[in-house]
């Protein structure tokens, strides 16, 4: 029996067109499709009451038909002609990118960022910053290295008086530098009201008290930046060179040759200047990750 809508030749006795799903009886002149009986679902007995809502032309579902019948567009039950639960319309099986749900992400990596389980290191190899840090990765003690304010930096400065093996953050180092600078200004101010001998004694005493912790924190700052502490030899050489050139220049100037004295002072500072620049760059570098001098400082977001 030929369908008048799609011209498809159906089998004798078919009530619906196998190609387009239109009613064969309606093709033969029946106008009220609400009276057409609807077959019961597969495996069930009895039929639902015939209504216009569950007729083949008004069925529910996306390209899948209702009650096991073809939809009006000639597609079998299921999405894109496939039984429910089978591959999606793009030919992939259930799950994202062809994997069972909960498995690989769309780029072929397993669950987690960059193929790592959630809560593990991020793609740059550092611990994640959400939640708690991995045990033992950061310095969790009250010792150096630590992100600190001015007062705590001074405490750590004297607490690590002769510590040449650990690490110190930039905040520890530069607050300590500010402290020694302010102490030096205080000595100069007090020397105004003191005799020459007393002011010299005070100046030498302060220098002797601060020289060792200054060198130790410079070494620890180099370690924290991932540099060898032996770079401090450059600081010592630069200091001695500037001191020697200053003394030699003053002696020469007092001897009557002011130009030669000024030249000696300028030459000493000119040689020491590049060494100081290199060291300042190293001291300004951020803290490195876990290295042979110990763990990095605990980030402030993890501190309690």
pTM score, whole prediction: 0.53
Beta bridge partners of 150: none
The answer to whether the CB of 56 falls within 8 A of the CB of 72 is yes
3-state secondary structure of 93: coil
Q: Is the pLDDT of residue 185 over 50?
A: yes
Asked whether the predicted pLDDT for residue 291 surpasses 50, the reply is yes
- Mean pLDDT across 156-169: 95
178 or 104, higher pLDDT: 178
In this structure, what DSSP letter does residue 91 have? S
Q: What is the pLDDT of residue 90?
A: 56
Strand partners, 9: 2
How far is 199 from 234, CA to CA, in rounded Å?
30
Q: Are 59 and 73 in contact (CB under 8 A)?
A: no
Q: Per residue in 102-114, pLDDT tens?
A: 454 555 555 544 4
Q: How far apart are CA 235 and CA 77, in angstroms?
A: 82
C-alpha–C-alpha distance, residues 262 and 115, integer Å: 65
Q: How far apart are CA 170 and CA 225, in angstroms?
A: 9
Residue 81 has pLDDT above 60, yes or no: no
Task: Give the pLDDT score at 164.
Answer: 95
Joined together, the tokens standing for residue 179 give 């402290």
Percentage, residues of the chain above pLDDT 90: 34
Q: Which of 38-47, 121-130, 225-234, 264-273 shows the lowest per-residue confidence on average (mean pLDDT)?
A: 121-130
pLDDT of 68: 47
Write down the mean pLDDT value for the chain. 74
Give mean pLDDT, residues 73-98.
52
Q: Which helix (H) or strand (E) holds 158?
A: helix 150-159
**The residue to which tokens 């304010």 are assigned:** 149
The answer to whether residue 140 scores a pLDDT higher than 60 is: yes
pLDDT, residue 20, reads 80
Q: Which residue has the higher pLDDT, 147 or 45?
A: 147
Residues present in the chain in total: 304
Q: What is the DSSP string of 20-71?
A: T--BHHHHTT---GGGS--PPPTT--S-PPP-STTSGGG--SSSS-STTPPP
Measured from the Cβ of residue 142, the count of other Cβ atoms closer than 10 Å reads: 10
């Amino acid at each position: 029996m030929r369908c008048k809508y799609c011209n498809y030749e159906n089998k004798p006795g078919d009530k619906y067109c196998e190609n387009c799903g239109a009613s064969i009886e309606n093709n033969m002149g029946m106008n009220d499709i609400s009276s057409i009986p609807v077959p019961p679902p597969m495996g069930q007995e009895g039929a639902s009451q015939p209504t216009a809502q569950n007729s083949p032309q008004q069925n529910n579902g996306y390209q899948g038909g209702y009650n096991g019948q073809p939809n009006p567009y000639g597609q079998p039950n299921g999405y894109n002609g496939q039984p429910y639960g089978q591959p999606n319309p793009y030919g992939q099986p259930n799950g994202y990118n062809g994997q069972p749900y909960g498995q690989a992400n769309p780029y072929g990596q397993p669950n987690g960022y960059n193929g790592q389980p959630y809560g593990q290191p991020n793609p740059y190899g550092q611990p994640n910053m959400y939640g708690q840090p991995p045990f033992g990765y950061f310095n969790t003690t009250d010792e150096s290295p630590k992100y600190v304010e001015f007062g705590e930096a001074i405490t750590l400065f004297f607490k690590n008086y002769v510590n040449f093996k650990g690490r110190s953050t930039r905040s520890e180092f530069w607050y300590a530098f500010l402290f020694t600078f302010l102490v030096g200004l205080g000595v100069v101010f007090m020397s105004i009201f003191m005799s020459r001998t007393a002011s010299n004694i005070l100046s030498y005493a302060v220098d002797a008290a601060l020289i060792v912790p200054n060198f130790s924190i410079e070494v620890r700052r180099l370690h924290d930046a991932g540099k060898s502490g032996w770079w401090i030899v450059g600081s010592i050489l630069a200091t001695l060179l500037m001191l020697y050139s200053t003394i030699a220049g003053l002696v020469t100037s007092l001897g009557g040759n002011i130009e030669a004295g000024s030249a000696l002072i300028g030459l000493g500072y000119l040689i020491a200047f590049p060494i100081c620049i290199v060291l300042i760059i190293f001291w300004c570098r951020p803290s490195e990750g876990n290295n042979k001098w110990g763990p990095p400082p605990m980030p402030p977001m993890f501190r309690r």
